[in-house]
Structure 1
Amino acid sequence: MTVVAEVVRSGFVESVHHGVVAFSDRPGVGDTVSPIFPRSSNKPLQAVGMLRSGLVPREVADLAMAGASHDGEPFHVDRVRAMLAAAGLGPEALRCPADLPLGETARYAYLRAGGEPEPILMNCSGKHAAMLATCVANGWDLESYLDPKHPLQVALAETISDLAGEPIAAAGVDGCGAPVLAISPVALARAFLRLVEAAPGTPERRVADAMRAHPELVAGPASEDTILMRAVPGLLVKRGADGVTAAALPGAGGVAVKISDGAIRARVPVLLSALRKLGVEPPVLEEPILGGGRQVGEVRAVW
């Protein structure tokens, strides 16, 4: 496996991170064809599957929330609640686990107010609300909507395979309880490019347009996804757990990153480096390594 990032502290390389960088239309780095679980980077593809299955979002912003890993800010939670209400449901219909807000600022504020974990606060609750709304639109059972054999999950698996251009290699259970489907990194990059380059009005383009129009819903104000989509017009970005992220820009290409050891801090420097190789100049997002309150090192891409 190829080294794609290293952590340098006070001039000493203290650790290295191995990983894969796949491009949609050019040679990548590392093993780009063996399957991985994209985790939440699958969400935009699942949102396409919901539209294909008859989901009618109340607003464009609701479609952005369907593909989100939100921070749990009050405006995120209010929107998920409204999505459920529009489908005639309440938060009790959610089958994602109870959790605290993902975003640090939202989490601290919630705990200071005496809050406790709730399913609607879980970062995947927007996806689950959209899944439930799709079931309501089709008259499908609501209790079992996370079962891999449920009509909803069958349809989403077919959509992901179609967008990826390859069969699903394996199915697992994601942290939110929904099925997570394995595809190759190059297929993930290809699927993201298909979304941003699809014709206007298609399910693929509607998802890409919604997420790019409402990046603050996709993650949170301080997230790399939000910052990158605000800074680079037309760019679609979606992070996932375990060191995964994917991005695409029409006319430039698609890219998928998987850090093998799941390191989150290596993910952003490698993604930014990959975007530069596509001819995209992203904003500076690398977080410095601090010691005693001052910068003593950095994480840098070396692939």
Structure 2
Amino acid sequence: MPEGHTLHRLAGALDAAFAGAAPHVTSPQGRFAEGAALLDGTLLERSWAHGKLLFVDFEEGRTLYVHLGLIGKWFVLPVAEAHRETGPPVVGEVRLRIEDGSHVADLRGPMACQVVDEQEVDRLVARQGPDPLQPDDGTAADAAYRRISRSGKSLAELLMDQTVVAGVGNIYRCEVLWRHRLHPLRPGRSLKRASWQLVWDDLVRLMPWGVRTGTIITLDDVLEDTVAALGRGETPVVPREFAVYQRTGMPCLRCGATVRHKVVAGRNLFWCGNCQRRT
């Protein structure tokens, strides 16, 4: 399932392509025909995300709500000159297509694709925890910690719970716990407030780089190289390298001990058996 930075990045792509326009909205597959008819030819005001939920606001208080789930894909692409008049051919089971002659966005396999009103948007967002990629009035970390500090569930479970923190997925949970030497099976109620603040601040720092580059960055040296490349006006090539994620049996990058593996909350969890002993 895509992590939160992917949805924020997709919202930016949709805005760049369609915001301020009244695109053609269809459902080539047919399963979203009624919803597409409500949005077709109406002004697309903005696209935005909260955690793993994506919203596209149209005029008259209508919002397209999309949850990609495990297999959903949504690509925003420029339209080739040869297809400017007729639109590019439909490939596969396209639930929703947005197009305006210069760009096309095809949505396939989402878990949810609905037209909702403002009240339903508020309800959907209210069910989520705070999003590290959203502007913060200073209360977000406290809101998440209230739920963490009352729970006997492990930190690994809580970080994957979208009602606790929205947008964090498996890679970020493994890596951020490693960065702060926290044992992933430690109960949430044993975590000190100051320790949680460090984790939250790290997510706030790291996740925007996922939005900017399209790749999750959790290693400081990779981040430094990325910042340096951007400073030189270059497009950074970000390697897919992590400290513990998918490194079962390999040496920890910090202490050299063996990286361990366990399935937690339905996903593969990775951690260092030595330097993540803060239980």
Q: TM-score per shorter chain, which class?
A: under 0.3
TM-score, normalised by the number of residues in structure 1: 0.26
Higher relative contact order (CA 8 A, sep 6+): 1
Larger-gyration structure (1/2): 2
TM-score, normalised by the number of residues in structure 2: 0.28
